[in-house]
Amino acid sequence: MPGTYPASPPTLSGDFETISRFLASPTQLRRRLRNFMDLRFVSDQILTGRFRTSGGAILYEQSEPFVTDRAVEAVGAGAEYPYANTPTGTAAIAAVSKWGQKVPVTDEEIARNVYAGATIDRNLRKTVNSIIQQVDSVTMSAIQSAVGANVFSVTGSGGGAWTAATPTMLRDILRAKAIVFGKNLGYKPDTIVVNDTAYAYMMSDTAITNALRREDSNNPVYTGQIEVIAGLVIVVAGSNYFTGGPIILDSTQLGGMADEQDSAPGYAVSDQAVEVKSIRVDDKDKWDLQGRRKTVPVVQEPGGMCQLTNTGT
């Protein structure tokens, strides 16, 4: 099986020597290993809050009102002021999960591998990427589950699907944005999350491209990117785990990631709050490269987002 170590030793048949490509051999070039930015993990761009928790769970309030439960009244001279209550949000609790795994690296793999010292680094990178991918998938599922009734049907509101001949993308985005603003709860949508397909249609929609600056090298026709539309930063999530319609949200209020910290020795913090550790296993002449993230996504203000439906993407 490729990647099993130690690889089989070289063999000689007449004048021909056969050697595993994993062993020392003529100079080879190995491709650059992609990191979490290349793989477009986006959950930490959407849930921007950072919380600390202990005890295995976090207690929080959803959609806390910012006004009292009683209208303000005119108070007569010498009269008593009317009392009002300050309502709280809906209590919710989320349990922290420890997402982790480890990979073995034998002394033979390190010593005999043509890529030498890069072996440990590359194995750690793959472990970190795998953990970030899992957390990202769980977070996006939590966000989509929390959307609830905060939706805007494109075709049900007189518009056209984004994949149709006459789409109404810009108007749809502005109307969904108006829904979030219209709640009058202080939400200020600043981000729109789309998948690859929706982004492709957005890039080529004439109503959008005709409104862009002309004769500008930053035009998406040249750069291949639209970074902001209608005041919203565009975040493109991979279609492999974000298949719903575009979501418009207030990234400063929607929620955050609750990470649990402990004093376990030997761990170092890597990308996206993933902790990594190298464990020496002397009796087996190998290293165990271990990674983990103890976290849970928290959606505090589901009203701070609106998902566009029936876009065809």
Give the model's pLDDT for residue 114: 63
In this structure, what is the dihedral angle of CA atoms 31, 37, 42, 46, given to the nearest 10 degrees? 180
Instruction: Check if the beta carbon of residue 313 is closer than 8 Å to that of residue 127.
Output: no
pLDDT of residue 111: 79
pLDDT at 5: 53
The domain segmentation of the chain, as residue ranges, is 34-74+86-309
**pLDDT at site 89:** 79
**Residues 202-212: pLDDT tens digits?**
888 888 877 77
- Which pLDDT score is estimated for 38? 52
Establish how many alpha carbons lie within 13 A of residue 215's alpha carbon, considering only the half-sphere containing its beta carbon: 0
Whole-number Å distance between alpha carbons of 263 and 271? 19
**In the prediction, which pLDDT does 18 show?**
65
Query: What pLDDT is recorded for position 151?
Result: 92
Question: Across the strands, what pairs with 213?
Answer: none
pLDDT value for 27: 43
pLDDT < 70: residue spans in the chain: 1-10, 15-40, 114-117, 216, 218, 221-224, 240
User: CB 70: neighbour CB atoms within 10 A?
Assistant: 10
How is the chain split among helix, strand and coil, in percent rounded to 5?
25, 30, 45
Q: Using one digit for the tens of pLDDT, what is the confidence trace for 72-95?
A: 999 999 999 999 998 887 888 889
What is the DSSP pairing of strand 191-195 with strand 232-237?
Answer: parallel
Q: Are strands 268-269 and 275-281 parallel, antiparallel or unpaired?
A: antiparallel
At 31 the pLDDT is 45
Tokens standing for residue 302:
């589901």
The angle at the Cα of 203, spanning 301 to 152, to the nearest 5 degrees, equals 35
Q: What is the CATH number of domain 34-74+86-309?
A: 3.90.1690.10
